[in-house]
Amino acid sequence: MVNLKPLFEIQRALDEKIIAKHGLYQQNLIPKKILALQVELGELANESRCFKFWSVKPPSPREVILEEYVDALHFVLSIGLEKGYDQVVRVQKRQTEVPEVEAFRQVFDCITRFAETEDSQAYQALFQSVLDLGNRLGFSWEEIEQAYKKKNEVNHLRQEQGY
Ligand SMILES: O=c1ccn([C@H]2C[C@H](O)[C@@H](COP(=O)(O)OP(=O)(O)OP(=O)(O)O)O2)c(=O)[nH]1
């Protein structure tokens, strides 16, 4: 089982800062966070180049791909906090053999299902699919946690600097 508690707490502090700074109290930000997650996943797929059968260019450097991945992870955590699912979600580290394109498709499928129901089961499946994608892209959980924390600090600074 992955211990998500530390990341949820870090995410909560950032989300609260963004809400305060932009005056977003009481607003339902879920639709925007879902689209943001889809956009980040598109950017991630672009950097991985896993679908570009027409090109011989290699993927972006590993760290660039990891940075995109943790942007997506921010929005997954943020959605869970807004729905109050941070206490109930249970995900595991596991090996996935599916092709990268299939791992992306599974995440997008889970997003679609979550968008329809917004229930905790769909959220859990979404979170697991995002972890499976991270594994498929070759990242360990330790690497993901570290990169997440680094980008989180950048996000705090950007908010303070009137981004
Ligand atoms: O409520 C929110 C809103 C945003 N973020 C984070 C997620 C992500 O890590 C970052 C937004 O992505 P990015 O840094 O790519 O922002 P951008 O405005 O699209 O960047 P750029 O202008 O560089 O394209 O902010 C949160 O954690 N919670």
Q: How far is CA 35 from CA 3, 4, 79, 102, 111, in A?
A: 26, 23, 11, 20, 9
Query: In sequence order, which residues have a C-beta less than 8 Å from that of residue 29 and are 6 or more positions away?
Result: 82
Give the pLDDT score at 47.
98
What's the farthest any 2 CA atoms get from each other in the chain?
Answer: 48
Q: What is the DSSP letter of 139?
A: -
Query: Is the C-beta atom of 68 inside 6 A of ligand 1?
Result: no
CA-nearest residue for atom 18, ligand 1, is: 163
CA-nearest residue for atom 15, ligand 1, is: 71
Query: Is the C-beta atom of 136 inside 6 A of ligand 1?
Result: no
Name residue, tokens 């950048």.
154
- Fold for the domain defined by 5-160: all-alpha NTP pyrophosphatase fold (1.10.4010)
CA-nearest residue for atom 9, ligand 1, is: 71
Give the pLDDT score at 125.
98
Quote the tokens at residue 152. Answer: 């989180």
Give the pLDDT score at 160.
95
Give the pLDDT score at 162.
83
Query: Is the C-beta atom of 151 inside 6 A of ligand 1?
Result: yes
Residue 39 CA: which ligand 1 atom is closest? 19
Give the pLDDT score at 142.
98
Domain map (residue ranges) of the chain: 5-160
Would you say the pTM of this structure is higher than 0.95? Answer: yes
Query: Is the C-beta atom of 37 inside 6 A of ligand 1?
Result: no
Average pLDDT, consecutive stretches of 10 residues, N- to C-terminus, the chain (163 residues): 97 98 96 98 98 98 98 99 98 96 98 98 98 98 98 97 82
Give the pLDDT score at 90.
98
Query: Is the C-beta atom of 15 inside 6 A of ligand 1?
Result: yes
Query: Is the C-beta atom of 72 inside 6 A of ligand 1?
Result: no
Q: How far is CA 10 from CA 102, 109, 135, 142, 152, in A?
A: 30, 27, 22, 16, 8
| Ligand 1 centroid – CA 72 distance (Å) | 9
